[in-house]
Chain A
Amino acid sequence: MNMIIDALTHISMEPDDVIGWGPRFTAEDLLAAMDAPRKIFGKSARVDRAVIFPAMGKTVPTSKLTFLEQHQYVMDSVDRYPDRFYGGAAIHARLWNETVAMQFDDMVRNHNFRMIYIHPSLHKYWLPIKTPSESEGSKQLLYPLFEAARKYKIPVLIHTGEQPYSLPATVDFIAGEFSDVNMIIGHLGTQGELFTMEALMVAERHPNVYVETSFAMGHMLIEAAHSIGVDRILFGSNTPPLEPTQQIMMVEESLTFAPPIGMGLSEKEARKVLGENLLRLFENA
């Protein structure tokens, strides 16, 4: 099959003035980056498909945009390039209501949306924990989203990588509560190296937890493969601001180069990470 599928990208006609990139990154810019000349395993290769999310800055609590407005450009782009894009909904949980639920239903049924993205840091909440007094509000806020993910059998990507809201260990409780919902720990728990081991401990405890590779350091990706196997690792580039070729090289070199730079896996194993695993997840939907 040999498809490369990118689990995490963003597009926007305007700057993302919260995350801090710009001046824009259109659907066509993303396609150009996906199709840029590159060699993977010694052969020319494009990124075949990508899950596209809006610029995360559009979804923060101070945004004046409705949920639909936040996602209109993503919807239009998926409709325009159905062979290249899957839609991704970056849901600010505090916006969730019956109207949003209906709009999301339409996105899934009619616009090929395949993933929910939640971002505790940007949207300002803790993931649920065991303590009722601390957790009740969070449950009321987030459980409807996980119930929606269950209903449509689509995975929930959870941003992780910084204090205080986005520590990967906080995924543990909800992963147990919704053990039939697939969850993806974004950025391998990190945006660099910190917290990766936490992410892997959570993933080791819960077979419904996957990890996504953007921002990961190579040796931590190797640790992930040793900890949970390659079947639950998903390539994501987080383009923009990261760039797909560099992020693919991180996966290819870390998994297939000889130690100490890599771990000497076969191309076949690495290709699971680069696309096959995500495709399998989507086929379950």
Chain B
Amino acid sequence: MAEILVDSHTHIIRHREPVWGWGPRYTVEDLIQTMDRDYDVLGETKHFSKAVVMTGLGLTSIGEYNMREANEYVIQSVMQHPDRLYMNPVINPRLWVPDQLDQLRDWKRDYQVCMLKIHPSMHNYYLPTYSPFPGDVSKKIIYPIFEMARELNTPVMIHQGESPYSIPALIAPLAEAFRDVPMIVAHSGANNAPAFANDAILLARTHENIYLGTSWVQTPELTQMYYAIGASRIIFESDCAPLSMGQQLRMVTNLHLPPPLGVNASRAEIYRMIGGNIAELCHIQID
């Protein structure tokens, strides 16, 4: 496997992010510049070859945009940098399912869509539950997204990290209903509360189609994750912007250190986590 860096989780926007509030902007040029900085990986200077890009999430929640409009800047940016960027369209199921979902087939062909993203907290819904309420209503808007992911052969990234909609255990019914669809638990649930990562680890241990993202995670939980599910289902993500790519990367590459700072992860395992796994999962050509 090629030893390259792929960031599975980035955001770009041409103006201030309208819900999270970060700004004044983070353009595709800013992102490329950040990817091209020098990063020390196992004592060698490396750069990010590729990144999976999302829109500023607030655009999918407020402003009454349609799906194309909310994701338009990412589409244009991927077309501008097809050798560096892949697209992860953010889907608001309350607004765009099922009417606007069909266009994802064209997007995959034309704009390097390699993943789909949903955000239960931003869009205010529970994931399908075992119980009929709120499960049945949720299934109507969420199942079509996972059926589309199955058809397009892409994973789905699910934002996780806060009550009440984004607690990792709530993914379990969905993971069981769509066992053939890989699901990436964004931030491993640690977006606001690091302890939720333990919840995500349990979910991953009990569901083989669950992968765990590393942004916002703290070292003790990342260490736990490595021992619980192994390097092959840990996915580096920076969540840049607003997080810093360098510091987030360093936490994962530190796993090569001996305990207690790391876990003695091998070079091959490190490169799996910081590029190989997501490239395989998203069919990103890296050789």
Could you tell me which A residues sit within 8 Å of B by CB distance?
Answer: 16, 20-23, 25, 33, 37-39, 191-194, 215, 217-219, 239-243, 245-246, 249-250, 253-254, 257, 259-262
Instruction: Classify the secondary structure of B's interface with A.
Output: loop
Cβ-closest chain B residue relative to A20: B220
Those 5 A-B pairs whose CB atoms lie nearest each other, nearest first = A21-B260, A192-B194, A260-B22, A240-B260, A253-B244
29 contacts between A and B (CB under 8 A): A16-B260, A21-B260, A22-B260, A25-B260, A38-B40, A191-B194, A192-B190, A192-B193, A192-B194, A193-B193, A194-B193, A215-B194, A217-B216, A218-B244, A218-B247, A240-B260, A240-B261, A242-B261, A243-B250, A243-B254, A246-B219, A246-B254, A250-B247, A253-B246, A260-B22, A260-B23, A260-B241, A261-B244, A262-B244
Q: Report the bound CA distance from A19 to B259 in whole Å.
A: 14
Bound-state Cα–Cα, A192 to B221, Å? 11
Which residue of B is nearest A258, CB measured? B30
- Among B194, B216, B259, the residue within 8 A (CB) of A21 is B259
B218-A249 in contact (CB<8A):
no
Cβ contacts under 8 Å, A194 to chain B: 192-193
Q: How far, in Å, is A181 (CB) from chain B's closest CB?
A: 30
Confirm or deny: B78 has a beta carbon within 8 angstroms of a beta carbon on chain A: no
From known contacts A217-B216, A249-B244, A253-B247, infer whether A260 and B26 are also in contact, taking CB-CB under 8 Å: yes
Give the distance in Å from the alpha carbon of A79 to the alpha carbon of B257 in the complex.
28
Within 202-245 of B, Cβ neighbours of A (below 8 Å) are at 216, 218-220, 223, 240-244
Which one, B194, B243, B257, contacts A243 given CB within 8 A? B257
A194 to B262, CA, bound (A): 25
Report A-chain residues with C-beta under 8 Å of the C-beta of B216: 192-193, 217
Interface residues of B (CB under 8 A from A): 17, 22-26, 34, 40, 43, 190-194, 216, 218-220, 223, 240-244, 246-247, 250-251, 254, 257, 259-262
Do residues A219 and B22 form an inter-chain contact, with CB atoms below 8 A?
Answer: yes
Are the C-beta atoms of A242 and B247 separated by less than 8 Å?
A: no
Nearest Cβ on chain A to B83's Cβ, whole angstroms: 24
Interface centre among B40, B220, B260 (most CB of A within 10 A): B260
**B251 cross-chain contacts in A, Cβ below 8 A:** 246
Please determine whether A241 and B223 come into contact, CB atoms closer than 8 angstroms. yes
Residues of A within 8 A of B260 (CB): 16, 21-23, 25, 240-241
Known: A243-B254, A259-B24, A261-B241. Is A192-B219 also a contact (CB below 8 A)?
no
| A241 and B244 form a contact (CB under 8 A) | no
B-chain residues with CB within 8 Å of residue A37 when the two chains form the complex: 40, 43
How many residue pairs between the two chains, A and B, have CB atoms under 8 Å in the bound complex?
Answer: 94
Question: B261 touches which one: A23, A217, A243 (CB < 8 A)?
Answer: A243
Is the beta-carbon distance between A241 and B220 smaller than 8 angstroms?
yes
Docked pose: A249 CA to B240 CA in angstroms: 15
Distance from A235 Cβ to chain B, minimum over Cβ atoms (Å): 13
Q: How far is the CB of B196 from chain A (nearest CB, A)?
A: 9
Q: Which residues of B contact A257 (CB under 8 A)?
A: 244
List residues of chain A with CB within 8 A of the CB of B43. 37
* CA–CA, A246 and B241, complex, Å: 18
Contacts of A219 on B, CB cut-off 8 Å?
22, 242-243
CA distance in complex: A220, B259 (Å)? 28
Q: Tell me which residues across on chain B come within 8 A of A193, comparing CB atoms.
A: 191-193, 216
Q: How far is the CA of A38 from the CA of B246 in the complex (A)?
A: 13
CA of A253 to CA of B246, assembled, Å = 8
Give Cα distance in the complex from A192 to B260, angstroms.
19
What residues on B are CB-neighbors of A20 within 8 Å? 220
Chain A CB within 10 Å, residue with most, of B22, B219, B247: B247
**CA distance in complex: A253, B240 (Å):** 12
Q: How far is the CB of A165 from chain B (nearest CB, A)?
A: 16
Given contacts A191-B194, A243-B257, contact A218 B219 (CB under 8 A): no
A246 contacts B242, C-beta separation under 8 Å? no
B16's closest neighbor in chain A, by CB? A260
- The residue of chain B having its C-beta at the shortest distance from the C-beta of A190 within the complex is B194
A242 proximity list for chain B (CB < 8 A): 218-219, 261
- In whole angstroms, what is the CA distance A257 to B250 when docked? 17
Smallest Cβ-Cβ distance to A219: which chain B residue: B242
A218–B251 Cα distance when bound, in Å, is 13
A217 to B160, CA, bound (A): 17
Cα A257 to Cα B26 with chains together (Å): 13
Q: Which residue of B lies closest to A245 (CB)?
A: B250
Most B CB within 10 A of own CB, among A16, A192, A240: A192
Q: Tell me whether A260 and B242 are in contact (CB under 8 A).
A: yes
CA distance A185 to B26 in the complex (A): 32
Chain A proximity of B256: nearest CB distance (Å): 11
B250 touches A261 (CB 8 A): no
Complex CA distance for A25 and B259, rounded to whole angstroms? 8
Task: Identify which of B40, B241, B244 contacts A39 (C-beta below 8 A).
Answer: B40
Which of A25, A243, A254 is the one whose CB lies under 8 Å from B244? Answer: A254
Point out which of B192, B219, B241, B257 has the most chain A C-beta atoms below 10 A from its C-beta: B219
Docked CA distance A243–B254 (Å): 8
Q: Which residue of B lies closest to A261 (CB)?
A: B244
The docked-state distance in angstroms from the alpha carbon of A187 to that of B102 is 47
Q: How far is the CB of B150 from chain A (nearest CB, A)?
A: 34
- Bound CA span A227–B22, Å: 17
